[in-house]
Structure 1
Amino acid sequence: MRPDVKINDLWMYAMGWLREEIDFPTPQSQTNTVVVPGRNAPIRFTEALGRVSYQPRSFTITLSMLGSREKFNQRKDILTNLCAGQLCQVILSEEPDLYAVGTLELEPAYDPLTGKGQMVLSCSDGDAYRYHTEETEVSITGGGTVILNNDYMPVVPTVITTVETALSWSIGEDVFKKSVSAGTWTFPELELQEGQNSVSITGEGTTTFRYREGRL
Structure 2
Amino acid sequence: MLKRFGPLIVLVAIAAVFFALGGQHYVTLDALRDNRQALLDVVARNPLGSALALVGMYAALVAISFPGASLLTIAAGLFFGTLVGGSLVVVGATMGATIVFLIARNASGDALRKRIGSWGEKLADGFQQNAFSYLMLLRLLPVAPFWLVNIVPALFGVKLRDYVLATAIGIIPGTFVYASIGAGAGAVLAAGQELNLRGALLKPEVIGPILGLAALSLIPILYKKFRKEPVA
What range describes the TM-score normalised by the shorter chain of this pair?
Answer: under 0.3
Task: State the TM-score, normalizing by the size of structure 1.
Answer: 0.23
User: Which structure carries more helix by proportion?
Assistant: 2
User: Which structure carries more strand by proportion?
Assistant: 1
Larger radius of gyration: 1
Task: State the TM-score, normalizing by the size of structure 2.
Answer: 0.22
Instruction: Return the structure number with greater relative CO, CA threshold 8 A, min gap 6.
Output: 2
